[in-house]
Chain A
Amino acid sequence: MEELYRQLASNLNHVTGFIYPNEVELHWGLLVVIYPYVTGLVAGAFILASLEKVFRVKEVEPTYRLAMLTALAFLIVAPLPLLAHLGHPERSFEIFLTPHLASAMAMFGFVYAWYLMVVLLIEIWFEYRADIVIWSRQATGLRKWILRILTLGSMDLSPQSVRFDRKAVHAITIVGIPSAFLLHGYVGFIFGSVKANPWWSSVLMPIVFLFSAIVSGISLVLILYYVSTLLRGKEIDMTCMNKLASFLFYALVLDLSLELLDFIHRLYESEESISILRELIASKLFISLTIVQIILGTLGPLAILAIARFSNLPSELKRLGYLVAAGLVQVGIFSTRWNVVIGGQLFSKSLRGLTVYKMQLSGAEGLFSGLAFLIAPLVILYILVKLLPPWTEARNRQVEP
């Protein structure tokens, strides 16, 4: 507690103008930045995966299973930073037991459970079921037993049952797309519906969140596909990479247009908050918004993608360009989340002053803990990939219907 008081006293020295006395403590820190970032990756990866199943975009097929496992790995981690951030994590189950239905946040548990249980797990199970049955016969040791349990006793490999699996995957994907929209649109709503905060309060917020989620999901799967293929010493499918790059480019254009619309709309309406928000953008958010989010994270990747995709560069250069662009997009989307969550708390609701956020290194809300929450999904993904290889060559062609 003494540490908190010392920190707050030091924050007080960085306050400009007037803030309400209770606003010296900034309430949602790094962990609440990570939550929408990770959830966005889940929704984005799933929507990319759905392209292959629902819209029959055959080019991205090599990434389908990888995208599904990525979505699952990140979804498992998604609620953890929120949980760690709570003052009383041991009471979090009350959200499920006695949800206050008027609260946007109370819906979190249900949206999350729906997405995890009904959409992701079932779709992955049907997608892998036939392979799991065959692998469980070939594998040895612990993996054999895990795979055997994962079959859930359904060992039928007849053409009819495999056909049924395919149909089920298709049906769940159709339910899954609106669910993915719901998952991340909902996260945007949590912020967009706070009328007390002019930086958050916008009907566009869920839509902007959604498109930035699609952008981040596609770029993450592109990076994972590229790196994993290289590490396995396999040939990179350039048709797939080109298609991913095209989708990333178009999604970025849409995302940027929406952000611009939001920006211009605020500027044109010029409500009473406009002067403090202008000051915020010009001072405390200048680096994270103008430099990192817009220039480095959006315009940069757009230019690189446009050059790499629509020119006659050799394949090696092209995909290197894609990789750099996708990496920059990740940095850009993370700073987008930062600018929403932290940016929305840097100005006083009296609209008369700005405060400061100082990230700690250690502690539950510190940098190290944040990094752990970002690395954890990759560790889970590694385990999932070992258990259920998503690679094209790992499939058992003999069970294709």
Chain B
Amino acid sequence: MREARDSDGAMPSESQGCPGPGATGGSAAPCEGQGPHRREVLLSLLKLPCSLAVLSAFGGAPAAEEAKQEAYDSSAHYYGMGIQVDHCIGCGRCAEACKTENDVPKVPFFFRTWIERYTVYEDGETLVDSPEGGIGGFKPQESERRVFRSFFVPKLCNHCDNPPCVQVCPVGATFKSRDGVVLVDRDYCIGCRYCIQACPYGARYLDPRTKTADKCTFCYHRITKGLLPACVEVCPTQARVFGEVHSAASPLRRLMRTSTLQVLKPYLNTEPKVFYSQLDREVR
């Protein structure tokens, strides 16, 4: 629940739909010349409910916590992840760190992130496996067949810009936050599992303890504090690159500039924000 609360806490006025300065700027233009204070008065009136909402949301929180949460401006960020497929060694540390950090059930049926191993044999057949989601690494293939090539592909929620899971949620419990992260409100989800059906990437599961949908949040509780997602933090080869999609100074942006990137299942028009370099055509 931590991440959902963080998200709610970070943008209470935004989720209420209160217009910011950008929203009022255009509409205020015709008012000019009709009275010196009218614009200011209207603006302050508009801000009033927002201010009340902010005050009531943080009413009981300690002052330090309040300052920290207010410091995070979700509209100033837009996150994505780059995966350098040729860097991944299949150690599985990312999947393990994710389970620990996010309290994902330890049984091998629920994953926020996992690693797939692709083995292409000389005869053209491709074998894919992901034992335990890759946690603990991969044992060597025991087949006698000659391997043509082999590689690992980390998978996670693609935080689609056009997310089908968000579209189908009947109550709006899953949503895309302003910083582009797709989140689930655990206190609101009714557990219908339509979002799990709608996700083309198998990135969602139903948490058996809460009976609500769950998925990768880019470790929202960490990134809103300026930290990296756990999987990125522990990756020994920097196969995962996290950062801003638009900011020129971001490492992700640099990867986007220097590599040819692909996304998974682009024909579905989900517009993923997890970008893969050196992605093989076998990967779906």
Q: Which residues of A approach B to under 8 Å, CB–CB?
A: 1, 4-5, 8-9, 12, 18-25, 27-28, 82, 85-89, 91-92, 94-95, 98-100, 102-106, 108, 190, 194-197, 345, 348-352
Contact = CB atoms under 8 A, between A and B. Distances in A.
Interface string B189-216: 1111110111111111110111110000
A158 B120 CA distance: 83
A8 to B, nearest CB: 5
A176 B39 CA distance: 52
Interface stretch (B81-89, B105-113, B217-225): B105-113
Contacts of A92: 190
A21 B191 CA distance: 20
B162 to A, nearest CB: 11
26 contacts: A4-B208, A18-B129, A20-B130, A21-B202, A22-B109, A22-B110, A85-B192, A87-B192, A87-B193, A88-B189, A88-B191, A88-B212, A91-B188, A95-B171, A99-B170, A100-B169, A102-B167, A102-B168, A104-B168, A105-B168, A106-B171, A196-B268, A197-B197, A348-B202, A350-B202, A350-B284
Contacts of A27: 193, 196-197, 206
Contacts of B191: 86-88, 91
Nearest to A91: B190
Contact of A18 (B110, B128, B199): B128
Contacts of A1: 208-209
Contacts of A349: 200-202, 284
B133 interface: yes
Given A8-B107, A86-B191, A20 B201 contact: yes
A195 B267 CA distance: 10
B242 interface: no
B164 interface: yes
Interface of B: 107-111, 114, 116, 127-130, 133, 155, 164, 166-172, 188-194, 196-206, 208-212, 268, 284
In the complex, which of the residues A1, A19, A27, A98 has the most CB atoms of chain B within 10 Å of its own CB atom? A27
Contacts of B198: 194, 196
Contacts of B208: 1, 4-5
A100 B194 contact: no
A22 B111 contact: yes
Given A95-B170, A98-B171, A103 B205 contact: no
Contacts of A25: 109, 205-206
A19 B196 CA distance: 14
A150 to B, nearest CB: 34
A28 B197 contact: yes
Contacts, number: 135
Contacts of A195: 164, 200, 268
Instruction: State the majority secondary structure of interface residues on A.
Output: loop
B56 to A, nearest CB: 20
Contacts of B212: 87-88
A109 to B, nearest CB: 9
A87 B202 contact: no
Contacts of B201: 20, 349
A22 B169 contact: no
Given A22-B111, A25-B109, 8 more contacts: A24-B109, A27-B193, A87-B210, A88-B191, A100-B170, A195-B200, A349-B202, A352-B128
A32 to B, nearest CB: 9
B170 A88 contact: no
A107 to B, nearest CB: 8
A28 B206 CA distance: 12
In the complex, which of the residues A24, A196, A345, A351 has the most CB atoms of chain B within 10 Å of its own CB atom? A196
A-B CB proximity, top 8 nearest: A87-B191, A20-B202, A87-B211, A196-B200, A100-B172, A18-B128, A106-B170, A105-B170
Contacts of A352: 128, 284
A382 to B, nearest CB: 31
Contact of A87 (B107, B172, B190, B204): B190
A23 B171 CA distance: 24
B99 to A, nearest CB: 12
Contacts of B197: 27-28, 194, 196-197, 345
Nearest to B165: A196
In the complex, which of the residues B129, B192, B205, B284 has the most CB atoms of chain A within 10 Å of its own CB atom? B192
Contacts of A99: 170-171
Contact of A105 (B109, B111, B192, B211): B192
Nearest to A345: B197
B193 A28 contact: yes
A85 B206 CA distance: 13
A380 B191 CA distance: 28
Contacts of A94: 171, 188, 190
A351 B128 CA distance: 11
Contacts of B194: 103, 105, 190
A85 B198 CA distance: 17
A21 B128 contact: no
Contacts of A91: 171, 188-191
A277 to B, nearest CB: 15
Contacts of A105: 168, 170, 192, 194
B123 to A, nearest CB: 17
B171 A87 contact: no
